[in-house]
Amino acid sequence: MATLVLLGGGACMKSKITFTLDGQTIEVPAGSTLLEACRQAGSEVPTLCHDDRLHPYGGCRMCLVEMEGAPRLVPACKTQVQADMQVRSQSEKLERVRTTIAQMLLSEHTPGNGVQEDQLQSYAKKNKVEAPLRFASSAAWEDRNRFLGFDPQACILCDRCVRYCDEVMQCSALEHVGQGSQARIQPTNGQSFLDTSCELCGGCISTCPTGALYEKQAVDADGKVKARVEQTEKTRTVCTFCGVGCVLDVHTHQRQVVKISAEAGVGSNDGHLCNKGRFAWQFIHHPDRLQQPLLRNADGHLQAASWEQAYARIREGFTRIQNQYGSDSIGFLASSRCTNEDVYTLQKLARAVIGTNNVHSCAAT
Partner 1 sequence: MTNSIAEIEDADCMLVVGSNTTEAHPVLALRMKKALRRGAALIVVDPRRTWLAERATIHLQLRPGTDIPLMNAFAYVILQEGLADFAYVENLTENFEAFAAAAQEWSPERAAELCGVDAEQIRRAARLYAQTEKAGIYYTLGVTEHVCGVDNVRSLSNLALLTGHLGRSSVGVNPLRGQNNVQGCNDVGNNPVFLPGYQLVEDEATRAKFGQAWDCTVPAAPGLRLDQMMDGMHDGRIKAFYVMGEDPVVSEPHAKQIESGFEKVEFVVCQDIFLNETSRRYADVVLPSTCFAEKDGTFTNSERRVQRVRKALDPPGQARSDLRILFEVAQALGVDWGEPDAEKVWNEFADLSPKFFGIRYPRLEERGLQWPCPDSSHPGTPFLHEGAPLRGKGLFYPVDHVPAWEEPCADYPFLLTTGRTLYHYNAATQTARSDGHLDKQARCFVEISPDDAREMALDSGSTLRVESRRGAIEVEVKVTDAVHPGVLWMPMHFAEARANVLTGDGKDPEIGTPEYKVTAVRLVR
137 binds partner 1 (CB under 8 A): no
173 binds partner 1 (CB under 8 A): no
Quickly count: other Cβ atoms within 10 Å of residue 74's Cβ. 17
Site for partner 1 in 257-276 (CB under 8 A): 257, 267-270, 272-276
For residue 256, the SS3 value is strand
- Indicate the residue among 141 and 332 with the shorter CB distance to partner 1: 332
Nearest CA to 104 among 139, 73, 63, 61? 61
- Indicate the residue among 9 and 69 with the shorter CB distance to partner 1: 9
What secondary structure does DSSP assign to 121-148, as a single string?
HHHHHHTT---SS----PPP---S-SSE
- Candidates 81, 154, 157, 168; binder of partner 1 (CB under 8 A) is 168
What element of type H or E holds 262? none
345 contacts 334 by C-beta, under 8 angstroms: no
With contacts defined by CB under 8 A, name the span among 84-92, 131-139, 153-161, 251-259 that binds partner 1.
251-259
With contacts defined by CB under 8 A, name the span among 27-35, 115-123, 141-149, 179-187 that binds partner 1.
141-149
27 binds partner 1 (CB under 8 A): no
- Indicate the residue among 61 and 163 with the shorter CB distance to partner 1: 163
With contacts defined by CB under 8 A, name the span among 30-38, 93-101, 118-126, 294-302 that binds partner 1.
294-302
5 binds partner 1 (CB under 8 A): yes
- Indicate the residue among 157 and 350 with the shorter CB distance to partner 1: 350
84 binds partner 1 (CB under 8 A): no
- Indicate the residue among 24 and 324 with the shorter CB distance to partner 1: 324
What secondary structure does DSSP assign to 56-97, as a single string?
----S-TTEEEETT-SS-EETTT-B--TT-EEES--HHHHHH
102 contacts 125 by C-beta, under 8 angstroms: no
- Indicate the residue among 100 and 282 with the shorter CB distance to partner 1: 282
CA-to-CA dists, residue 88 to 28, 57, 96, 97, angstroms: 16, 20, 14, 13
Number of residues that bind partner 1 (CB under 8 A): 116
With contacts defined by CB under 8 A, name the span among 25-33, 42-50, 152-160, 354-362 that binds partner 1.
354-362
With contacts defined by CB under 8 A, name the span among 97-105, 106-114, 133-141, 307-315 that binds partner 1.
307-315
CA-to-CA dists, residue 79 to 22, 43, 101, 286, 288, angstroms: 16, 16, 19, 50, 55
- How many angstroms separate the CA atoms of 150 and 140, rounded? 9
Site string for partner 1, 186-225 (x = CB under 8 A): --------x----xxx---------------x--------
2 binds partner 1 (CB under 8 A): no
Q: How far is the CB of 98 from partner 1 (least distance, A)?
A: 32
For residue 249, the SS3 value is strand
364 binds partner 1 (CB under 8 A): yes
323 binds partner 1 (CB under 8 A): no
294 contacts 304 by C-beta, under 8 angstroms: yes
- How many angstroms separate the CA atoms of 157 and 170, rounded? 20
